[in-house]
Structure 1
Amino acid sequence: MAEGAVAVGSRPARRRPSRFGFRKPLPRGLELSIALGASLGLLLLWEAVARFGYVNTLFFPAPSDVAAAMVHMFRDQDLAWHAAVSTARVWSAFLIAAVMAIPMGILMSSYRVIGAASEPVIDFIRYLPVPALVPLAIIWFGVGEETKIFLLWLGTFFQLVLLVADDMRRVPQEYVEITQTLGASHYQILRDVAFRAMLPSLVDNLRVTLGWCWTYLIIAEIVAASSGIGFVIWAARRYMKTPEVMAGVVLIGIIGLASDQILRAVHRRMFRYL
């Protein structure tokens, strides 16, 4: 047989598809196992680095010390109440921002007159650092609850409104044109076609911006606060209680992660067709 010829009836070896290939979905159980294993491995590495003296535990305490501090804070320092206060502040500011940003973003994208008038102002404000606006917030609203809600709203609204506008722009123009040929009004197009088409990505962006709102919590709660996780962290910082500082930070992450997973589950249940 000539060199390089393929035997009659022979088949090329079929490669077994890889479970970890590019954009290959993973079974839910395997994905959860990998996530838990990676998180546990990171915690063990952190514990080992602290316990074997590679870092000064005064500045970087071990996870076991952070966990012990968190238990102590829940038992003796009303940490659960502070967490509830912070959660209420974040959700209040986030819901106010969402109620304002959703219609504003839809109108900005649907009517270019509104978009041309408002986008430069929104783009300008969203680049302003929120900490730099704390003195103005105190002048405008005092040191009460309104200032904290305003700072959280400020860090969320101007980001969310542009995401909503982008969601509306991504609605295919064919949907609008077909609806217009059927005689639908502008309001019917917005309500029954465009809004329904953008809803999956809108819910996903709401989940993302809720996480952003949590990132501004410390800034909001250092303004003459007497409650909240940010207040607890700031008070512990004064006395170099690093495990308590880390416990507060970890608790924010836990609450944020739980909120994110709940919204992910809601998204999957609402839009099973995706």
Structure 2
Amino acid sequence: MAETISRPEAAASPAAVARPRKRASRGLLRLRTPLPRGWGPAIAVGASVAIVLVWEFVARLGLTTPLFFPSPTAILSAMGRMFSDQHLLWHAWVSTLRVWGAFLLAAMLAIPIGVAMSGYRVIGAALEPAIDFIRYLPVPALVPLAIIWFGVGEETKIFLLWLGTFFQLVLLVADDMRRVPQEYVEIAYTVGANQGQVLKDVAFRAMLPGLVDNLRITLGWCWTYLIIAEIVAADSGLGFVIWAARRYMKTPEVMAGVVLIGVIGLATDQLLRLIHRRAFRYL
């Protein structure tokens, strides 16, 4: 009888121990718990505003030197003057055109080459070592060569932006192609599809969500090379504005240019995220 009574108690004991743990794990901090509708943007805006307020508070207390770390209000004031006096909007437009021109050129070349590298092993074996080698080369070290090859015109700026994007993107495209399940390809051949149809209608469509996401990521990388590209005999662009302000230790203007690049990049990234969600609702 004693054994009969003790068994249910022993069986119930682990449940009693686990119940508080389950309760404790509930809530927003639970692993991969989805946020309620509308909470994500609200949390993002709230956290960003909090960071800016703390930054402003620290600057107003005099804990930082304005010459080296100006306050957000000083940066916004400098940005307002630059919009009115230094044609900052035009410089931002020029930089945006350069980045998108180099990025689209890199994408147009990287997508077919990356698909071919993954789809045909002989092409991958031939190209991957060279691409791996070049993508580890520091872009700033290649600025003198770019000037020798293209001069100091617009071609050099586009080339440097393209160089920092293409060799990264082509390997990401090849990885996206490799992730397409082999079963998809075999089923397509079974139902009578030819090689071109398998590539276009099966493999490319299967890799498209990952490809769009990688394009969004590499566009951000392209923006990171803007300063390098626009210090080469430039007289326009955000990189030129930042570099000119640096010469005279105008830190608020330097940070205003940097902040504007971040704002443009953030807006573009969020737009591409929205397009990705709308285009691939099934994910």
Relative to the length of structure 1, the TM-score reads: 0.95
Aligned to 1:44: 53
Match of 2:73 in 1: 64
For residue 149 of structure 2, what is the aligned residue in structure 1?
140
Identify which of 130, 149, 158 aligns with 1:121. Answer: 130
Q: Which residue of 2 aligns with 1:217?
A: 226
Distance in 2 (CA, whole Å) between partners of 1:5 and 1:131 is 71
Deviations 1:15-47 (A, max 9, x none): 553233101111241111111111111111111
Can you give the 5+ residue segments of structure 2 that lack an aligned partner in the other structure? Answer: 10-14
1:146, 1:252 → 2: CA distance?
Answer: 21
Flag structure 1 segments of 5+ consecutive residues without an equivalent: none
Aligned-partner Cα distance in 1 for 2:180–2:64: 52
Other-structure match for 1:25: 34
**1:138-178 deviation per Cα after TM superposition (whole angstroms, max 9, x unaligned):** 00000000000000000000000000000000000000011
Structure 1 residues 214-240: Cα deviation after superposition (integer angstroms, max 9, x where no partner):
000000000000000000000000000
Aligned length: 274
Aligned to 2:96: 87
**Deviation for aligned residue 1:5:** 5.7
- What is aligned with 1:193? 202
Give the secondary-structure state (helix, strand or coil) at the position aligned to 2:38.
Answer: helix
1:130 positional shift: 0.1
RMSD after superposition: 2.0
Other structure's SS at 1:206 match? helix
The 3-state SS of whatever aligns with 1:59 is coil
Task: Give the match for residue 77 of structure 1.
Answer: 86
Q: Percent identity?
A: 72
Structure 2 counterpart of 1:233: 242
**TM-superposition CA deviations, 1:88-111 (whole Å, max 9, x none):** 000000000000000000000000
**Aligned AA (2:72):** P
Letter in 2 for 1:85: V
Partner residue, 2:274 = 265
Task: Select which of 187, 212, 217 maps to 1:208.
Answer: 217
| Secondary structure at 1:269 match in 2 | helix
The equivalent residue for 2:258 is 249
Equivalent AA in structure 1 for residue 278 of structure 2 = R
Match of 2:160 in 1: 151
The one of 99, 103, 116 equivalent to 1:107 is 116
Deviation at 1:3, TM superposition (A): 7.7
